[in-house]
Amino acid sequence: MSAKDLPKGGVNRGVVIPLIFSCPKQCDCQSSKLKRWYHKPCGQPAFISEYGDIFCKYHLTSCYGYFIKDAKFQCNVAKKNNSWYSYKSMPEILMALSFALKAVELNVQEGVNSQQFTINILDQLRKRWYS
């Protein structure tokens, strides 16, 4: 599923990209390898909007979106220990997002305005991180 196939409305607004980045640095795997992430509630591929909201294709019906600061991540290694990890600081999440943008650019996703995404997500992180 690509971002353009997601139902519009709710948290799906603006530029949306697939959620692809590495595990938080405190994860058991200690990997910096880029991973495709899935929505915790339903297991569907996850996406992130330029507003910092993470969601899946069911965001208008049975699932919900949440701000990236509130996201918990679990790779296969962490799953063995039933552990979940999050990004603890804004610099950590900015590094992760830079990798997500690089993945989008490498895949040359049509219609993705990475400059608009970057400007808006930086603004949203500044506004929403401490609120």
pLDDT(121) > 60: yes
- Chain-centroid distance of CA 90 in Å reads 14
pTM: predicted TM-score of the whole model, two decimal places = 0.85
Q: Where are the domains of the chain?
A: 3-126
**Assign residue 8 a region: left if phi > 0, alpha if psi is -120 to 50, beta otherwise?**
beta
The strand pairing partners of 36, in sequence order, are 20
Other CB atoms within 10 A of residue 81 CB: 9
Supply φ then ψ for residue 27, to 5 degrees: -60, 150
Each residue of 47-77: pLDDT tens digit? 888 899 998 888 888 888 889 999 999 999 9
